[in-house]
Amino acid sequence: MSVDGFIADPDDSLGGADGNRLHHWGQEADGETFRTDGVAGQLMAEYNATGAVVAGRRTAEITDHWGGSHHGMPIFVPTHRPPGPTVADQPLVTYVQDGIESAIAQAKAAAGDRDVLVHGAYTGQRALEAGVLDEIQIHQIPILLGRGRRLFDVLPREIELEIVRVIDTPEATHLRYRVKR
Amino acid sequence: MSVDGFIADPDDSLGGADGNRLHHWGQEADGETFRTDGVAGQLMAEYNATGAVVAGRRTAEITDHWGGSHHGMPIFVPTHRPPGPTVADQPLVTYVQDGIESAIAQAKAAAGDRDVLVHGAYTGQRALEAGVLDEIQIHQIPILLGRGRRLFDVLPREIELEIVRVIDTPEATHLRYRVKR
């Protein structure tokens, strides 16, 4: 997220100039390989250690469900509509049509002792509203983008957080919060 | 600022419930006295050590120019309209009608070696756009307010920042950025 709260270009393209800028901290100089050293490497390792993913439909479809799994882990897609045709060949991909609570519950069951990664601002906010999001991790990048898609739109109520971890690097401030209930 | 980017109630009242919540970190338990100990005391001391203030007209008028000075320091109010009647009795208050650049320049001249404090989100953003804001300090509070007035609205261009200082406390993450040119 930029300091002014944006996470993507105005048209929400994944490869847009702004979207790329926000991911520099985790990438090698080639702009493609993920870093494996230092804080970025540690955070990438945590990301890859999650036991299941809940992803918004748009992200899931743009990536073709990351080829069928998220680093070998199952993917749950909350949606109101039936899945597209490619899902039949992707046994680790489940479209969940009975609500975000169900999608999170199924993902938690599949993940066992591991964390569930919730992917996408829209999906994260629906999980927050439903009271089924436990933590929020923000990689806050020292730039003002000025416009774009916001990580947080308007929410129906205040939600108190607890600061769990702050990692201070020149490229980003990595903030981890627990959602209070 | 809340984690979702808000700095005041939707009606921008200074004493609103949300506005108060965002200031808890700097206040004693009575909710009125400013803390003088610890990180909050250090930051309050820095705040009070500024040599001049540039404040938006609305904030300046609501507080009646903090009684005529900001902790003894001069106040500059960028505006398009002539000042109200109380200003005649407040020699340290100057209404500047030829632009934000002029207001900042006059404040810097008055402040000498000290920093100038720019007060208010609207005024800060105008200074940013004009290229005359050197630093941004954000006290990021672990709460999602859900709605209200944002610290950053839409800006006409991207602005890169440099992280100058991160202070991690349970009550707030205090982030200081330098504006790159």
> Among residues A5, A32, A10, which one has the least CA distance to residue A139?
A5
B79: Cα within 13 Å, side-chain hemisphere? 18
Measured in whole angstroms, how far is the alpha carbon of residue A46 from the centre of its chain? 13
Secondary structure (3-state) at A146:
coil
pLDDT for B69 equals 93
* Nearest CA distance, B135 vs chain A (angstrom): 12
Nearest residue on chain B to A178, alpha-carbon basis: B142
State the Cα–Cα distance between residues B119 and B93, nearest whole angstrom.
14
Q: Which residues in B lie closer than 8 A to residue A158 (C-beta atoms)?
A: 18, 21, 143-146
Write out pLDDT tens, residues B137-158.
999 999 999 999 999 999 999 9
Averaged confidence pLDDT in chain A: 92
Per-residue pLDDT band at A13 (split at 50, 70, 90)? low
Domain ranges of chain B: 6-179
CATH number of A10-133: 3.40.430.10
* ipTM attached to this prediction: 0.92
Q: What is the CA angle B113-B23-B54, rounded to 5? A: 35
Give the closest residue to A18 by CA, choosing from B121, B2, B155.
B155
Interface of A with B (CB under 8 A): 3-5, 18, 21, 128, 136, 138, 140, 142-147, 150-152, 154-163, 166, 168, 170, 173, 175, 177
Please compute Rg for chain A using Cα positions. 16
pLDDT in tens, A49-90: 999 999 999 889 988 999 999 889 999 999 999 998 888 899
Reported as a single tens digit per residue, the pLDDT across B70-108 is: 889 999 999 999 998 888 899 999 999 999 999 999 999
Q: Which CATH number does B6-179 carry?
A: 3.40.430.10
- How far B176 CA lies from chain A's nearest CA (Å)? 10
pTM score, two decimals?
Answer: 0.93
User: What is the pLDDT, as a whole number, of residue A16?
Assistant: 57
A144 contact residues in B (CB cutoff 8 A) = 128, 152, 155, 158-159, 161
Pairing of strands B75-78, B93-96: parallel
Please give the span between the terminal C-alpha atoms of chain B, in angstroms, as a whole number: 24
C-beta atoms of B152 and A144 within 8 A? yes
Secondary element (H or E) of residue B167: strand B159-168
The A173-179 sheet, strands edge to edge: A135-140, A173-179, A159-168, B143-144
pLDDT tens readout for residues A119-141? 989 999 999 999 999 999 999 99
Tell me what percent of the residues of chain B surpass a pLDDT of 70.
Answer: 96
Residue B56 is predicted with a pLDDT of 94
Which of A41-45, B30-34, B50-54 has the weakest average pLDDT? B30-34
Residues paired with A93 in a beta bridge: A75
C-alpha span between B54 and B109 (Å, rounded)? 12
Q: Beta strands B75-78 and B52-55: pairing type?
A: parallel
Range from B17-21, B49-53, B174-178 carrying the lowest mean pLDDT: B17-21
Q: Is residue A25 pLDDT above 80, yes or no?
A: yes
Distance CA(A75)–CA(A88), nearest Å, equals 13
For residue range B109-142, what is the model confidence (pLDDT) as tens digits? 999 999 999 998 999 999 999 999 999 999 999 9
Q: Which residue has the tokens 């627990």?
A: A178
Residues B174, A163 contacting (CB under 8 angstroms)? no
